[in-house]
């Protein structure tokens, strides 16, 4: 029996790179959905909902495929920090994270409509920031495009300027917890 095609339901170049690192063939189909991003929503619920929306949208159009959806957010002080709207909001996010520990949540949804398959997983990691002065914030923003990144930062891009340490999955902080994805794909016979 032929393996079903794998589709990543995400526009994120970081997720593409991470999934490619597993050595599995896949295609990308960007789900045309409106993500729920209300900052007061429980972050676990929000990322699970958005990941499922993406996977379900693509799976409805490609029922024979295994479709992977993912969504990531940064959480601190009871508030989700999603992608900043502009550089001013990115600066505010970095100031808020300065010298503190926050949680990065990712929701994963794998669907194969034809087989009635629906797997949902959640992963969290903790990140601690250095105390950031304005000069360090500006130096970071000069090096990294933060507008498409939850929390206004990317640990994999000049993270040494802002991150003091982390616990949990590094790839989760980047946007796709590879260890968990590998486990799910192995269970589905793709790896």
Task: List, by residue number, the catalytic residues.
Answer: 71
Per-residue burial over 164-190, b = 16 or more CB atoms within 10 Å of its CB, e = otherwise: eebebbbbbbbbbbbebbbebbeebeb
User: Under a CB-based contact definition with an 8 Å cutoff, are residues 8 and 31 in contact?
Assistant: no
Q: Return the number of other C-beta atoms located less than 10 Å from residue 25's C-beta.
A: 9
The whole-angstrom distance between residue 100's C-alpha and the CA centroid of its chain comes to 21
Sign of CA dihedral 84, 86, 89, 90: positive
Instruction: Quote the CA–CA distance of 97 and 53 in Å, as a whole number.
Output: 29
Among candidate residues 1, 3, 23, 7, the one with its CA nearest the CA of residue 110: 7
The whole-angstrom distance between residue 185's C-alpha and the CA centroid of its chain comes to 17
User: Under a CB-based contact definition with an 8 Å cutoff, are residues 59 and 111 in contact?
Assistant: yes
């Amino acid at each position: 029996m032929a393996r079903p095609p794998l589709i990543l339901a995400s526009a994120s170049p970081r997720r593409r790179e991470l999934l490619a690192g597993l050595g599995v063939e896949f295609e990308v189909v960007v789900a045309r959905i409106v993500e729920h991003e209300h900052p007061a929503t429980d972050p676990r619920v929000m990322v699970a909902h958005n990941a499922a929306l993406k996977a379900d949208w693509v799976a409805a159009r490609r029922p024979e495929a295994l479709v992977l959806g993912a969504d990531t957010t940064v959480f601190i002080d009871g508030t989700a920090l999603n992608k900043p709207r502009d550089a001013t909001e990115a600066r505010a996010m970095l100031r808020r994270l300065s010298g503190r520990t926050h949680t990065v949540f990712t929701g994963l949804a794998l669907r194969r409509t034809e087989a009635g398959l629906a797997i949902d997983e959640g992963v969290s990691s903790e990140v601690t920031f250095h105390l950031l002065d304005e000069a360090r914030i500006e130096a970071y923003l000069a090096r990294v495009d933060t507008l498409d990144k939850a929390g206004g930062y990317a640990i994999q891009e000049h993270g040494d300027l802002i991150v003091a340490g982390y616990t949990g999955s590094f790839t989760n902080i980047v946007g796709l917890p590879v260890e968990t994805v590998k486990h799910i794909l192995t269970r589905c016979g793709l790896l």
